[in-house]
Chain A
Amino acid sequence: MKRGTSIFIALGVYFSADVCLLRAQTEQSIGFTQSIKPILANKCFACHGPDQQKAGLRLDEAESAYRTLESGDRAIVPHQAEASLVVDRIFTDDPEALMPPPEKDNPLSAAEKDLLRKWIDQGAGYEEHWAHKPPRRPESPVVQSKEWSRTAIDLHVLANMEHEGLQPSPEADPYVLLRRVYLDLIGLPPTPDQIEQYIQDPRPNRYEHLVNELLMSPAYGERWARHWLDLARFADTNGYEKDRYRSIWPFRDWVINALNEGMPFDEFSIKQLAGDMLPNATEADRVATGFHRNTMMNEEGGIDIEEFRFESIVDRVNTTGTTWMGLAMGCAQCHGHKFDPVSHTEYWQLFAIFNNADEPEIDLHDPVIADQRAQIQSKIQQLTKSLKNQFPNQPGDQEEAIGTQFAEGQYYQQRFDQWLESAVGRAVGWTVLKPGSLHSKFHATLTTLPDQSVLASGDKPNRDIYTIELTCDLPFITGFRLEALAHPSLPDGGPGRAHFFQTGDFLLSEFIVETPDDQGGWVRHAFDKATDSHHKDKHEASKSLDGLLDTGWQIGGRTGEDHQAVFALKEAIQRDGEPIRVRITLDQSFIHQVTIGRFRLSATGDDRPEASGMPADVEALLAGGAKEWEATDMALLEGQFHREASELEGAREEIITLRRKLPSFPTTMVMLERKPEHTRTTFRRHRGEFLKPREEVGPGVPDMFHDWPEGRPVNRLTFARWLFEPGNPLTARVVMNRTWQAFFGKGIVTTPEDFGLQGAMPSQPDVLDWLAVEFEQSGWDMKHMHRLIVNSATYRQSSKLSEALLEKDPENRWLARGPRFRVDAETVRDIALHASGLLEQTIGGPSVFPPQPAGVGDLAYGGPGYKESEGADRYRRGLYTYWKRAVPYPGFMTFDAPNPERTCARRIRSNTPLQALTLLNDEVYVEAASSLAKRLLNDQALSDEERVGEAWMRLVGHPVSSAARQQILNYLQGEAVKLSQAPETVKQLTGVKQVTDATVRLAAWTLTCRVLLNLDEVITKS
């Protein structure tokens, strides 16, 4: 009820404008889409629409609206307003009967009532929402200015312009057009050489040639990747409180490469949505799925991991809706969409499609690193083999050596035999237990590997309890061994699953063993003691027997290795005929996901079971007895001797050092569809809330869309392909609209994120449809579309405004002039760096840390963690700047870079004093000014006049006017005079210790370049 009020207020303005427009059209037929639907949507659909049908009435479809109601009345009788109940109810004086009900505080205006009546009298014609009908290539219109058009786009734009009584602007000045197309296609301004080359190019189609060149430039991919990264909500940190670093830059590289290669947009999309599910998916295909791994992750201590996984899937559904469907899916999370035909259940069907993936991090097998690793590993192997040779021939201890002379190898043999004897004594005979049933309380996926160890994957809950039931053939059991084993899929190699705070570790709160009693219950067995091969300080295995859930066995400090704990029973479990049935519980009730990633269970009947500290295979050999040892067994035993012998401590050190030097592969975050047997169940959530699951919902797509391909499995991959099936009314339009927006500043639909009933109507539907059809028919060729647009006469127009044009079309809706607007945040900085010669044009790689004002990071929880890059990395393009969600790079935020917390289809473009302060005073721009000044002065052949021209050309891209040049020279000379009297200022501006005429000039030029860097034209695409 109250929401109705707010809707009315916000839209009051809208309507009066619409109604005026209609009055001007006098008695023309009333269009449903333009005039009637907005009224119904805002005043009626909330109760009589797709979500609710009070009194059985639904007004958003003709069939339902014309139907005879339960009351016997008909709400709408076409051509008979007086017979239509709707007309009765909106004109009545009776407050009980009046619609909309007065308490909704959302009344119809007199004009709106009239419109509804007339519309019914005219036949009450319904039209499908424009965006739900597939686009058709519009027929070429007839235009008056036959010469103007260069492309089919232009014909449509021109026809619309002429219809509005407008004329196109002349083509932009070549300098202006050149800078415009550079900024649009590669995001950098042209250099003076490039400008000169273009202006001197005699070919009549020099512009088209240039466009082709720019489309092939590697900077093209960087430019257009930045647009895409807004949608992908790309950032370098996890968000929320901890906001730690994550490695997902390989996804950014993938996007840049794909765009540069000209990957068709359908393939580009399918790989990002479901690359992991493609047959024979490559590493690159998997990297592409990083798109939906850019959701935030909450790592606060006390959270429910599943709740935030749930939130990330909500985000994936909504982001998919925005990016490919132009659909405000978020509305249907809590209830049926009030305006668009997406029901509450349909939302959860889409959710189910995205709810079936695991979210691992994968190594990228960079060949350079693989090679480095192979070299080190072969060295390690050599060293390991040579350990025996390094064994001393005599004891080191002098007393022991007295009187004994050892033959070659004799001392080694003696020590080995001694060791073997003690090792056999330590060894316990273990029987590996084969898990019968496996259960994880919080839905981790537990899989038994061939060696009977159990690997955890999939969901990674904050805490967990594993329950393993099994049978054991031993006659009696005196103790159990739990091996916690390393595995490459685990963070830091495991054995734990924790991926932060205590990476690779686990905490085993309690180790519980039970056997069945007579009543069908379980009886718990007491332990005598626990021993372990290794433990973190104060976290011995015995802490897993103390009954306290906040203490337990941990192995911190030695991740990536195998460990074991042995739990000796107080009283042996006796076999009573049948094999012994055992239930083992690994209670891991701590927080922070410190659960075990891989483990194996064994049992023994040995009388004093203890942890030997030896690998299981070695211990098994030793326990099995000497007679069965073969040469390979002996090698294994010798290997263990080499690992333990104190004589080899120094020799082993080298191996350990080498191991530490093994370079890691870069990693990235991906999606991985779960196996069919691990399919997740999705529930509709009442009011969209995590804590209110209702009935189970299977995967599916909303009915309103084109058909689902017959016989295909309902999963993410089919969904991704379905988006590109012919008949989809939205994808091509949505993408082309955003593309148009990138070039012209505004989309043809000004709400690029919402093509639904509440979104804006397209200003030029024929242009949008032409583009959409062309896009689809070109094989989803992005470069083709970009080429078409920048080659169009529409794009090439001058963006100069006249009073008349400003009056008639202030928003440039009809495109009777070219685009003129401030460039994006990253481009503001890229231009300054490029024009001043500082830009480092390396493509790809991890994010970099350019200078930012001191103290910015202080606002972050847990300290700044922003270490400024050294050298060339300070001057990389903006899209490589490290993006910390909680403390974003301020220079970009000031220029409206979007917060990557949510997908962004449209950047705001503000104009504020903080922007002026940034350009005037931020270190980046001061450095750029100084660099540019030095460059200008380095060329000693230039006069100051020429230097002004050169600076202007670099920054603004066209020859400087004589008036401007004179003003700049006056400033330069004025400052030079003042500076010659102010040596301290010169020192501060230039950083030099000795003031000379040359440094005074440098200081004056630095100030001058700083002024030029601040000009409107520098940061504006004209």
Chain B
Amino acid sequence: MKKLEGKPLPKSIVGEQRFAFIEPDAGVLGPQFSFARYGQSQAELSEILPHLGEMVDEISIIKSVNTDQFNHAPAQIFLNTGSPLSGRPAMGAWATYGLGSESADLPGFVVLKSAGGISGGAANWSSGFLPSVHAGVPFRSKGDPILNVSSPHGVDRSIQERSIGLINALNEQTLADWKDPEIQTRIDNYEMAYRMQSSAPELMDLSGETEATMNMYGAEPGKESFANNCLLARRLVERGVRFIQLYHEGWDHHSNVVGGLKSQCKQTDQASAALLRDLKQRGLLEDTLVVWGGEFGRTAMVESNATLGRVNGRDHHPAAFTMWMAGGGIRKGQTLGETDELGYHVVKDPVHVHDLQATILHCLGLDHLRLTFRFKGRDFRLTDIHGNVVEKLLA
């Protein structure tokens, strides 16, 4: 890339690729950071990911992920649901549909968010046509972690207990009268709601964590941060929550890719590595799959635009980008896949988003070909009609 700095890429490389903002003949922007090799596996990582460097022997780096979509909302929805159009179930919904939940007092699929809003919105954690109980439940770092999990002002735990006691007693009478099994379910749900009201604050209360743990993540109580969310993720794993997603927005560096990446990595590198380390030291990593990545990569070419005030940025690049996976079922300390020298096209071991999805389901013990749901006359799957498990990623 350095050699081609400022020059356009040959048409033979760019092909018919569509871009969001730049023209196909934009000049190359050389590497902005230096790279070094880490760990026994000698994996190559950027200088701005020092913490991940320490955990690199635990992970599989995939340099050959590719997607069909080159705009945020469709690409995010594609990564989560297997279709670029909203309306299909997200991976987490499929997982809880296939496996159920091990948590009696927390939802099975939890979504955590730090930094800005997310392009794809609720479609990213939708249950689609699956029963809505499988939809991701966004937990908030401020206010109630779960909507309405706090009782109203003036209703303390004992009032709540007596109130639910009366609700259920009256519902018991209705049940005796009408014999509708739905009433029994509702009674059970009021009891679970009551339990959730104490388990959710307990989950969010980080005061029981040691200082060493807090420091390892870089977590600060009460702050909306990726670090706090990583720590919460571990606590959710411990409580049997099946599928946890952490969103951290702000990687869309159409301008100033250097400043943008530095800031983003500072917010995420330490906590990501800490999550791996923490899961490992608690013996949870072997049963927990950790996946790190975004909806697409960035171009080798520079983006600049006077009217939009953009300089030294990179546009969206769907043809090749990097993710990493670790934990349950994943081979440790390897780098899979290669691109050409420009990071433009995958030249070895391509992993399409549908392959990634098939592999994730596989690691969860689900066969992506068999996990189907009949809707509008068709059996739908997460991977649509595509996807192969990437055997090379598996331990």
Interface residues in chain A, defined as those with a beta carbon under 8 Å from any beta carbon in chain B:
2-3, 5-7, 9-10, 239-241, 243, 296, 298, 300-304, 311, 322, 328, 330-331, 339-340, 507, 539, 548-552, 590-591, 751, 753-754, 756-759, 799-803, 806, 820-822, 853-856, 858-863, 885-888, 890, 893-894, 896, 899, 901-902, 908, 910-918, 920-923, 926, 961, 963-964, 967-968, 971, 974-975, 985-989, 1003, 1007, 1010-1011, 1014-1017, 1020, 1022
Contact = CB atoms under 8 A, between A and B. Distances in A.
A923 B151 CA distance: 10
B363 interface: no
Nearest to A907: B132
B160 A920 contact: yes
A298 B71 CA distance: 10
A659 to B, nearest CB: 29
A981 to B, nearest CB: 13
Contacts of B186: 911, 916, 1016
Contacts of B211: none
21 contacts: A2-B385, A5-B370, A240-B119, A241-B73, A241-B121, A298-B71, A298-B74, A328-B378, A330-B378, A550-B308, A590-B307, A801-B178, A821-B182, A855-B143, A858-B140, A885-B86, A901-B85, A917-B147, A975-B159, A986-B154, A1022-B178
**Chain B residues touching A, range:** 35 or more
Interface of B: 18-21, 23, 70-74, 85-87, 107, 113, 116-123, 126, 131-133, 135, 137-138, 140, 142-144, 146-156, 159-160, 162-164, 166-167, 169-171, 173-174, 177-183, 185-186, 189-190, 192-193, 196-197, 304-308, 315-316, 369-370, 372-374, 376-379, 381, 385
Contact of B305 (A330, A550, A856, A964): A550
B179 A855 contact: no
B171 A9 contact: no
Nearest to A539: B307
Given A590-B307, A754-B377, A885-B121, A922 B148 contact: yes
B154 A985 contact: yes
A300 B117 contact: no
A820 B178 contact: yes
Contacts of A922: 147-148
B166 A967 contact: yes
B64 to A, nearest CB: 22
A971 B167 CA distance: 11
Nearest to A960: B170
Nearest to A2: B369
Most B CB contacts (10 A, CB to CB) among A301, A820, A854, A863 go to A301
Contact of B148 (A303, A853, A1011): A853
A9 B167 CA distance: 42
Contacts of B180: 799, 801, 820
Contacts, number: 269
Contacts of B373: 10
A1010 B370 contact: no
Given A302-B70, A888-B122, A800 B376 contact: no
A301 B21 contact: yes
B132 A901 contact: no
A8 to B, nearest CB: 9
Closest 10 CB pairs of A and B: A302-B20, A886-B121, A988-B154, A328-B377, A916-B193, A989-B154, A241-B119, A758-B377, A861-B117, A801-B179
Contact of B71 (A7, A300, A1010): A300
B21 A961 contact: no
Contacts of B135: 893
Nearest to A902: B87
Contacts of B151: 920-921
A987 B154 CA distance: 8
A853 B385 contact: no
Given A302-B316, A855-B143, A916-B190, A1011 B167 contact: yes
A890 B150 CA distance: 15
B193 A1007 contact: no
Contacts of A322: 376
A861 B121 contact: yes
A859 B193 contact: no
A801 B174 CA distance: 12
A917 B149 contact: yes
Given A911-B182, A967-B169, A6 B86 contact: no
Most B CB contacts (10 A, CB to CB) among A551, A853, A856, A985 go to A853
Contacts of B142: 855
A1007 B161 CA distance: 12
A296 B85 CA distance: 10
Contacts of A964: 170, 173
Given A302-B21, A756-B377, A859 B118 contact: yes
A241 B120 CA distance: 6
Contact of A803 (B144, B178, B179, B307): B179
B307 A507 contact: yes
A922 B152 CA distance: 8
A302 B147 CA distance: 34
A330 B377 CA distance: 9
A846 B108 CA distance: 37
Nearest to A987: B154
Contacts of B166: 967-968, 971, 1011
Contact of A6 (B146, B192, B379): B379
Given A300-B73, A860-B121, A910-B131, 9 more contacts: A302-B316, A800-B178, A820-B182, A855-B143, A914-B107, A916-B190, A920-B160, A971-B166, A1011-B163
Given A241-B73, A300-B73, A800-B178, A859 B122 contact: yes
A87 B123 CA distance: 48
A853 B122 contact: no
Contacts of A751: 376-377
B74 A240 contact: yes
B191 to A, nearest CB: 8
A323 to B, nearest CB: 12
Nearest to A298: B73
Contacts of A901: 85-87, 123
Contacts of B71: 241, 298, 300, 302-303
A855 B86 contact: no
B341 to A, nearest CB: 26
Contacts of A756: 377
A243 B121 contact: yes
Contacts of B120: 240-241, 886
Nearest to B194: A916
Nearest to A304: B18
A911 B189 contact: yes
A853 B183 contact: no
Contacts of B119: 240-241, 300, 861
A1020 B150 CA distance: 25
B164 to A, nearest CB: 8
Most A CB contacts (10 A, CB to CB) among B120, B132, B370 go to B132
Contacts of A974: 162
A886 B132 contact: no
A989 B153 contact: yes
A910 B132 contact: yes
Contact of A302 (B19, B86, B156, B185): B19
Contacts of B132: 893, 896, 908, 910, 912
Contacts of B171: 1015-1016
A10 B113 contact: no
A414 to B, nearest CB: 46
Contacts of B190: 913, 916, 920, 1014
A377 B135 CA distance: 53
Given A301-B20, A303-B71, A985-B156, A1015 B167 contact: yes
Contacts of B174: 1015-1017
Contacts of A886: 120-123
B163 A339 contact: no
A859 B113 contact: yes
A263 to B, nearest CB: 28
B143 A859 contact: no
Nearest to B140: A855
